[in-house]
Amino acid sequence: MTDKKTQSDKSQADLDKGDEVTWKSHDSTAEGTVEREITERTKAAGRTVDASPDDPQYEVRSEKSGKSAVHKPSALHKK
């Protein structure tokens, strides 16, 4: 078994606080900034996030609304 990562996997794994990202939101594209990586069960953006070191999620702040949201790395794309 090989551990091959696609280019999109690599870019998603390289997200850091302050990175500018985009994501799909209600049939449009939202833009914002990575606030933090979440690697344990915690509350963020008004909900419980069930993340782990093997399945991290990212809290992002929308540029347009200023609100926080939490997304899996696969939903986020660096600008």
* Structural domains of the chain ordered from first start: 12-78 (2.30.30)
Q: What is the dihedral of CA 30, 27, 52, 37, to 10 degrees?
A: 0
Q: How confident is the model at residue 2 (pLDDT cuts 50, 70, 90)?
A: very low
Write down the pTM of the prediction. 0.81
Residue 14 confidence (pLDDT)? 84
- Edge-first strand listing for the sheet containing 68-71: 68-71, 57-62, 28-38, 20-25, 77-78
Q: CA angle at residue 20 from 19 to 23, to 5 degrees?
A: 120
Q: pLDDT per residue over 18-77, tens digit each?
A: 999 999 998 999 999 999 999 999 999 999 999 999 999 999 999 999 999 999 999 999
The confidence score (pLDDT) of residue 12 equals 52
Query: Of the candidates 30, 27, 11, which has an alpha carbon nearest to the alpha carbon of residue 78?
Result: 11
The pLDDT score that the predictor gives to residue 9 is: 46
